[in-house]
Chain A
């Protein structure tokens, strides 16, 4: 499964540890430096797809009894592979002069 932009950010946020829905929305905005804001609809459709694909799973509720989610082993592998794929693309873009050199 290739995650969408929103799904990838959700996976990235969960890479730090279990999160509940609202915290995930905040983390996605923060991780993308405000470029990507997702509402509850986008968040929970992403959660449903990621759960169906076995990339995340529900874990213990927090103190306020909000449902929390965490990455599965498969989810961790997918997000790391996706990050590596993006890194390779960025390196290629730099090599071709589409992006400024890192140094």
Chain B
């Protein structure tokens, strides 16, 4: 194995994006350095390995600090946006139900499946738009999208199944207190789900809306801004 090949192998210690940007230049600089060095082979390789070890560690730390942490914050912000929008939609629906309440409706409940699907659509749509706005395209590939969905799905479970629970137990929204409603939506949801089919339908609605948004908005807004 030649010295250049050994050095190329050592470059695997650097983050992929760094290698992509500077790998060829580093190999070229190494070749020139090797040709012109007056050091013994042992001294030269000691210097090179110390340089690679130190700088690769620095590059990895930089990548971690500037890359994944920022992405994690943006993913959390996207999920929080979905949570807020779904809560607002649930409250808004209950308010409308109460506003237009008539004694004739006494004892009736919101139809569970459409209401659950509606909340699923709101959640999926909001998370999809928020991720489109906040996340770069490279992050929104299948694997990272799955990770983002792993954050959004538990929220969907809580909200959508809570909606079903509310609907099936004949909620009278006029008497419901908004604060109580939020707490119930957050904590009562899981045990309140009536059937797995209800949940599956709601998940499907959430996933469909999120994937539709993703398909429609392949390129994030941030990249468009930078392009101009």
Contacts and interface: CB of A to CB of B under 8 A. Distances in A.
Contact of B33 (A25, A44, A48, A67): A25
A42 B21 CA distance: 15
Nearest to B51: A39
Interface of A: 21-22, 25, 37-45, 47-49, 66-67
Contact of A66 (B21, B22, B28): B28
Instruction: Categorize the interface residue count of chain B.
Output: 20 to 34
A39 B52 contact: yes
Nearest to A67: B25
Contacts of A43: 29
Interface string B67-106: 0000000000000000000000000000000000000000
Contacts of B30: 39-40
Contacts of A49: 62
A48 B21 contact: yes
Given A47-B22, A48-B21, A41 B32 contact: no
Contacts of B25: 21, 40, 44, 66-67
Contact of A39 (B18, B33, B62): B33
